[in-house]
């Protein structure tokens, strides 16, 4: 498919987005023949930094393989936006941002599957330069060959979303030419909505006065997730933040869960992530709402997830 | 209007000035907050070369900054050969030279705007006042040292304004998306903007308060080059004054051929430092910045600079 016509296709989708419920990041549906959810878990919990890095990489690879491999999601010539959590000026050990080695592993896998360009970026809440640097994601992504850059605040375009509460919002423009988006959240406690997982991580794709989302997270987050519908969700639970999230900071609030989950049903992945924090999926407002709207299923066990023990 | 042939030394001087100005701008852009890669990028090179920075910081703080010893090289070169730093290296001087070249090019006007003036002594008083203030604990080199003042003006005025203007233009194009049918301006503007964003623009718009005085002072200094050539260098610059004192008896001196001189004073019209290149025995080494314009301007090849061994033929 020529680059030109794909652009036009995306543009048309943006215009007709309402009726089709597709977004400007009109993600071509993945045809994963395997299970819709795969959970990789490390039996041990190594402490040495190099060992943790290796663990994160292996977990990511196995989780994706459990879904049938990256080749089922990424085609030759794709432009992929890997969207980790780079929201906060924190170090990896503080579990406020996505594990950099998980991100790097995904970058390598995308290139191996033939991606033309892999972008790693996020609309940070804290100042972007220190967040990108201290999270370790900038270096790890660049080392793996990704295009990691700070988003430009002038490039958010008001886009119709036709959600339940969000009619339109400033979404990062289609200037990136992206056709696949991989959402890579980290599992964290959230002081307002109990947990911040994958669907809420999509807030990093929008701009404008995002703080207003917090007035009704149950609906705004689901409107957002319905609009964007990522190709794939890879949930980092190597370390999780159990308290004082989403910003965190205190190492005592961090727990090792040594898990990475991957799936195409963003509600199911979020539901699994909630259980890692000791929560019931239905107790998290936006998971229940997404389930009601049939965006996915929060009864993730019914998807018969493939569990991989390493 | 005399024919102007640009001689080799003038071309070399222009290359040198351009290179050092570009180097200054390069280091300026390099000195951004970068959490990953902080050390060892040599961004303070021009401050290191500047003996006035060493002197004022020592007087005000009673400590000698070890990293500033490169400036002694500048002093030694000036002691031996004169104010070549001003003419060939100083990026602020280059800026003044550039703006001075926009003044009226009629020879008669240039003799007024370019000739020597007694008021050129004022920079020595500025130097003196600056040093006294430093001894008393008030270090004003942020306003009067050329490297510091130029850097500060760039960082707080020029760069933020340029950054804002560039971003605004490109963002406006992006948001309004003008074009004719499928031909959009953004097809060209966006790639261009990415190049600018990754190499020159700031990650977040810098904004400084209380800049009015600095803006006025900086603009005034630049505009005064139209009134008198190299206004700052001749009348204000304390570094120029310091180097002028150091360069009072240089080994590289002007040699005027009186046999061919017809007092046309074209050398004076183009003189940047205001050093009386036409006056036999009246050349002022502490005002000369060795720009070689006099050598280039003289239609009779009557001026040259050469090395004088003390005790040799003058």
Average pLDDT over residues A204-211: 93
Q: Quote the pLDDT of residue A2.
A: 42
Chain B, window 189-228: residues with a beta carbon less than 8 angstroms from a chain A beta carbon:
190, 197-198, 203-204
> What is the number of alpha carbons within 13 Å of residue A67 lying toward its C-beta?
31
Task: Pull the structure tokens for residue A172.
Answer: 């990062």
pLDDT band, residue A17 (cuts 50/70/90): very low
Q: Which residue in the set A127, A139, A175 is minimally distant from B204, CB to CB? A: A127
Q: For the domain made up of A3-309, give the CATH fold.
A: Rossmann fold (3.40.50)
Measure the CA–CA gap between B102 and B111, rounded to whole angstroms.
15
Range scoring the smallest mean pLDDT among A29-33, A150-154, A304-308, B186-190: A29-33
**Which ipTM did the prediction report?**
0.73
Output the 3-class SS for A263-277: ECCHHHHHHHHHHHC
CA distance A155 to chain B (A): 7
pLDDT recorded at residue A53: 96
Domain ranges for chain A: 3-309
Report d(CA A249, CA A238) in Å as an integer: 17
Asked whether the predicted pLDDT for residue A292 surpasses 80, the reply is yes
pLDDT digit string, tens, across residues A35-94: 789 999 999 999 999 999 999 999 999 999 999 999 999 999 999 999 999 999 999 999
B221/B231 Cα distance (integer angstroms): 7
Partner A contacted by B186 (CB < 8 A): yes
The nearest alpha carbon in chain B to A159 belongs to B175
User: What stretches in chain B show pLDDT beneath 70?
Assistant: 1-5, 33-40, 67-68, 311-314
Q: What's the gap in Å between the CA of B175 and the closest CA on chain A? A: 7
Average pLDDT value for residue range A148-176: 87
Answer whether A154 sits within 8 Å of B167, measured CB to CB. yes
pTM, entire model = 0.80
Q: What is the mean pLDDT of chain A?
A: 89
Distance CA A263, CA B166 (A): 42
B190: which chain A residues are within 8 Å (Cβ-Cβ)?
175
Most B-contacting residue of A140, A175, A177, A208 (CB-CB within 10 A), to test interface: A175
CA distance A236 to B139: 53
How far apart CA B118 and CA B125 sit, in angstroms, is 13
Euclidean distance between CA atoms B166 and B159, whole angstroms: 10
Reduced to 3 states, what is the DSSP secondary structure of residue A164?
Answer: coil
| Inter-chain CB proximity B203 and A128 less than 8 Å | yes
Closest approach of B36 to chain A, Cα-based (Å): 6
B175 touches chain A (CB under 8 A): yes
Cβ pair A133:B35 closer than 8 A: yes
Two tokens, residue B26:
């390069």
The structure tokens listed for A173 are 């423009």
Contact A133 B186 (CB under 8 A): no
**Could you read off the pLDDT of A225-239 as tens digits, one per residue?**
999 989 999 999 999
8 Å CB contact of A129 and B34: yes
A153, pLDDT greater than 90: no
Reference A41, options A23, A27, A55, A21; nearest CA is: A55
Strands A194-196 and A186-190, sheet pairing: antiparallel
């Amino acid at each position: 498919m020529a680059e030109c016509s794909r652009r036009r296709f995306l543009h048309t989708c943006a215009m007709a987005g309402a009726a089709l419920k597709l977004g400007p990041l009109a993600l071509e549906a993945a045809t994963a023949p395997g299970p819709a959810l795969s959970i990789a878990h490390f039996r041990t919990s190594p402490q040495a930094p190099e060992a943790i890095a290796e663990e994160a990489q292996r977990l990511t690879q196995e989780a994706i393989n459990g879904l049938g491999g990256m080749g089922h999601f990424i085609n030759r010539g794709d432009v992929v936006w890997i969207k980790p959590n780079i929201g906060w000026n924190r170090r990896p050990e503080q579990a406020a941002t996505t594990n950099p080695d998980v991100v790097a592993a995904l970058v390598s896998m995308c290139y191996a599957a033939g991606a033309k360009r892999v972008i790693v970026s996020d609309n940070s809440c804290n100042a972007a330069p220190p967040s990108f640097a201290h999270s370790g994601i900038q270096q790890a992504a660049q080392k793996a060959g990704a295009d990691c850059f700070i988003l430009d605040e002038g490039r958010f375009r008001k886009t119709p979303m036709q959600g339940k509460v969000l009619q339109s919002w400033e979404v990062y423009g289609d200037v990136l030419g992206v056709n696949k988006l991989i959402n890579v959240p980290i599992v964290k406690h959230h002081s307002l909505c109990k947990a911040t997982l994958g669907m809420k991580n999509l807030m990093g794709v929008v701009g404008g006065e995002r703080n207003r989302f917090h007035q009704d997270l149950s609906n705004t987050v689901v409107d957002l997730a319905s609009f964007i519908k990522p190709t794939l969700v890879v949930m980092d639970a190597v370390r999780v933040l159990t308290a004082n999230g989403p910003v965190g900071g205190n190492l005592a609030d961090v727990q090792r869960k040594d898990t990475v989950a991957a799936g195409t049903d963003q509600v199911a992945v979020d539901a699994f992530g909630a259980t890692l924090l000791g929560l019931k999926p239905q107790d998290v407002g936006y998971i229940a709402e997404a389930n009601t709207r049939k965006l996915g299923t929060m009864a993730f066990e019914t998807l018969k997830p493939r569990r991989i023990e390493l | 209007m005399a024919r102007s042939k640009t001689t080799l030394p003038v071309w070399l001087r222009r290359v040198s000035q351009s290179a050092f100005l570009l180097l200054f701008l390069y280091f300026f852009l390099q000195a951004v907050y970068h959490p990953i890669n902080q050390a060892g990028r040599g961004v303070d090179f021009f401050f290191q070369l500047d003996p006035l920075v060493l002197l004022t910081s020592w007087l005000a703080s009673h400590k000698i900054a070890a990293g500033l010893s490169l400036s002694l090289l500048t002093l030694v070169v000036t002691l031996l050969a004169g104010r070549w730093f001003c003419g060939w290296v100083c990026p602020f001087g280059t800026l003044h030279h550039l703006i001075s070249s926009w003044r009226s090019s009629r020879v008669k006007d240039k003799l007024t705007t370019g000739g020597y003036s007694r008021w050129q002594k004022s920079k020595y008083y500025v130097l003196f006042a600056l040093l006294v203030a430093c001894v008393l604990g008030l270090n004003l080199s942020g306003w009067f040292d050329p490297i510091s003042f130029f850097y500060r003006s760039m960082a707080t005025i020029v760069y933020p304004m340029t950054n804002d203007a560039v971003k605004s233009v490109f963002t406006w194009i992006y948001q309004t998306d003008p074009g004719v049918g499928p031909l959009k301006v953004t097809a060209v503007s966006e790639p261009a903007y990415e190049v600018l964003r990754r190499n020159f623009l700031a990650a977040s718009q810098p904004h400084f308060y209380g800049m009015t005085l600095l803006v006025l002072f900086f603009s005034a200094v630049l505009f005064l080059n139209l009134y008198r050539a190299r206004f700052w260098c001749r009348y204000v610059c304390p570094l120029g004054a310091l180097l002028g004192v150091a360069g009072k008896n240089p080994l590289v001196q002007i040699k005027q051929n009186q046999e061919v001189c017809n007092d046309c004073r074209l050398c004076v019209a183009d003189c940047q430092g205001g050093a009386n290149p036409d006056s036999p025995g009246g050349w002022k080494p502490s005002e000369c910045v060795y720009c070689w314009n006099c050598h280039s301007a003289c239609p009779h090849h009557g001026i040259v600079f050469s090395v004088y061994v003390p005790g040799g033929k003058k």
